[in-house]
Amino acid sequence: MTIIKKFETVEPNKGFGKKYITVAGAFLFILMLAQVWASNNVITYGEKLERLSVLSRSLNLENQLLEQEIAKNESLVNIASQSAKLGFSEPESIQYIR
């Protein structure tokens, strides 16, 4: 007795299946959403950085102005005129105490 087995010829799938195309499409959609989210965050952080930069420049300018005012008030000419207004005078003779 001979056993004859018939094999069904099945054509191999040509190209990708619908499952792979769906997965690839979902992956691309997720990447697009990530790109939009990242762009929005970069824009937001850029605006914050610009505001901080402007604030830094204004604080540096104010610091320079205050340093100039301090230097002007600490000058010997200014101190001498202010002390004369307050009634201080140069000592006539210096006495040292031992």
pLDDT per residue rounded down to tens, the chain (98 residues): 677 777 776 665 566 678 888 999 999 999 999 999 999 999 999 999 999 999 999 999 999 999 999 999 999 989 988 998 998 888 788 888 88
Distance (Å, whole) CA 40 – CA 42: 6
Q: Which residue, chain included where needed, has tokens 């619908």?
A: 18
Evaluate whether residue 5 is within a structural domain. Answer: no
Which range of residues forms the domain containing residue 48? 19-85
The structural domain count of the chain equals: 1
Evaluate whether residue 6 is within a structural domain. Answer: no
What confidence score (pLDDT) does residue 47 get?
A: 92
Distance (Å, whole) CA 6 – CA 1: 16
pTM of the model: 0.52
Distance (Å, whole) CA 25 – CA 27: 5
Backbone angles phi, psi at 21, to 5 degrees: -65, -40
What confidence score (pLDDT) does residue 91 get?
A: 79
Evaluate whether residue 76 is within a structural domain. Answer: yes
Evaluate whether residue 14 is within a structural domain. Answer: no
Evaluate whether residue 36 is within a structural domain. Answer: yes
